[in-house]
Amino acid sequence: PNVTIVEPDLSIDKSAVPNQGVPLGTPIQFTLVVDHTTPESQTDAFDVIVTDILPPGLEYVQCTVQYTAGLAPDTPAADYCNPGTTTTDLIFEWGVFPLGQTSTITFTARLVNSPVTNAASVAWTSLPIDPQLSGLPFQLSTHNIYSTERWYDPLDDVDIYSVTDSVTINQQSAGGGDDDDGRTLPSLLPATGFAPGMVTRLPQQPAEKAYASTDVWLEIPRLGVTMPIVGVPLSEGDWDVSWLWRQAGWLDGTAFPGWKGNSVLTSHVVLPNGNDGPFAALGNLQWGDRVMVHAYGSVYVYEVRQNQTVSPSNTTVLQHEEDAWLTLLTCKNYNEASDTYANRIAVRAVLIDVRQDTSPSQTGNIR
């Protein structure tokens, strides 16, 4: 008989107030929202752990942890009320996090260095089972070596039970010499998906938002994808990627693909016809996977270093890099009620090699 697999899927959103123009010594309130209401989740999550490690630029203010809404952690807030001591690791645990629940946690930290980025993650398991003394999961059936509890493994194709979000205090412009002309980039990541399973009609593309053709194309072997890269203009303070079809859009204002800096490419998770887009499986990329940019007779080989789920307002993934990095963006977690996507997938890869391109041009094709 067929076997149906049901899995939990959580998200986390991290924010801070204030976050721009903040003088040193200012107390900042951080908010963590753990959400277990996404349509992708199908069952309760277990052994849930939220981890927030404060960087050296932030100093935790004792006794400020509060559970302000939703399902409170099993971890007592009083654990983080120790006047006269220094706390850097904020860890909150739930034995079970039922489907449909959310949880909101707030705390205060003082800014001691700037700019500074603070990240928080949530990890979970699929069954309420503790590991053996060896650390390995118990095998529940002698006939099936895969009949075990599953938890977060960043190198595994399936056990990706963890997501991260971050916020930057006094974030600097993404500009910086090699990759842009110093313009201020948008405060939200572009929306790169349409309603799944239905047709969305688009207006005619305005001339000022027309995409620039290039002789550059993208290859992602693990996903079996090749596609041309077009330039998406920064128009009226935003990138409008609505008219991307089977193309990757290079976001104007970030580094040109192959150059030093942070080059940001985006493509749709769902196309206007309701079918899967080129980046539908972007979340499957993992550490070590190769991503190639073919440009002007050379192949720029990038290797994945991070695959994370972030909020649309988390523009830290756009920030300038001194070396050559590639960031791939698409949408995740469609909300039918609001007709929007709640999150973005951001895959970050670093340039490891440049070699001569012996493959035929693919600028007009995609697989």
Over residues 272-323, the pLDDT tens digits come to 999 999 999 999 999 999 999 998 788 999 999 999 999 898 888 998 888 8
* pLDDT at residue 173 tops 80: no
Phi-psi map region of 9: left, alpha, beta (phi>0 left; psi -120 to 50 alpha): beta
Domain locations along the chain? 11-169, 207-356
Name 212's Cβ contacts closer than 8 Å, sequence gap at least 6. Answer: 230, 231, 233
pLDDT at 367: 44
Distance CA 17, CA 182 (A): 26
pLDDT at 253: 85
Lowest mean pLDDT segment, chosen from 153-157, 171-175, 204-208, 305-309 = 153-157
pLDDT digits (tens, 9 = 90+) for 181-198: 455 788 889 999 999 999
Superfamily of domain 207-356: Sortase (2.40.260.10)
- CB-count exposure of residue 5 (10 Å: 0-12, 13-18, 19+): exposed
For domain 11-169, which CATH number applies: 1.10.3080.10, 3.30.360.10, 3.30.70.580, 2.60.40.740? 2.60.40.740
Closest CA relative to residue 34, chosen from 129, 165, 151: 165
pLDDT at 357: 86
Lowest mean pLDDT segment, chosen from 58-72, 166-180, 228-242 = 166-180
pTM of the predicted protein model: 0.56
pLDDT at 282: 95
* pLDDT at residue 98 tops 90: yes
Cα 237 vs. chain centroid, distance in angstroms? 22
pLDDT at 362: 54
CA distances from residue 302 to 19, 153, 193, 315, 323 in whole angstroms, order as listed: 32, 22, 25, 21, 12
Distance CA 176, CA 181 (A): 8
Distance CA 298, CA 311 (A): 34
pLDDT at 212: 83
Cα 128 vs. chain centroid, distance in angstroms? 27
Tell me whether domains 11-169 and 207-356 share a fold: no
Q: What are phi and psi of 121, to 5 degrees?
A: -130, 155
Q: What are phi and psi of 323, to 5 degrees?
A: -95, 180
* pLDDT at residue 176 tops 60: no
Provide the 10 A C-beta neighbour count for residue 156: 12
Q: Is the sign of the CA dihedral 248, 254, 256, 260 positive or negative?
A: negative
| Average pLDDT over every residue of 210-230 | 91
Provide the 10 A C-beta neighbour count for residue 355: 10
Q: Is the sign of the CA dihedral 240, 243, 245, 250 positive or negative?
A: negative
| Average pLDDT over every residue of 43-58 | 91
Largest Cα separation within the chain, whole Å, is 65
Lowest mean pLDDT segment, chosen from 21-25, 146-150, 211-215, 301-305 = 146-150
Using DSSP, state whether 318 is helix, strand or coil.
Answer: helix
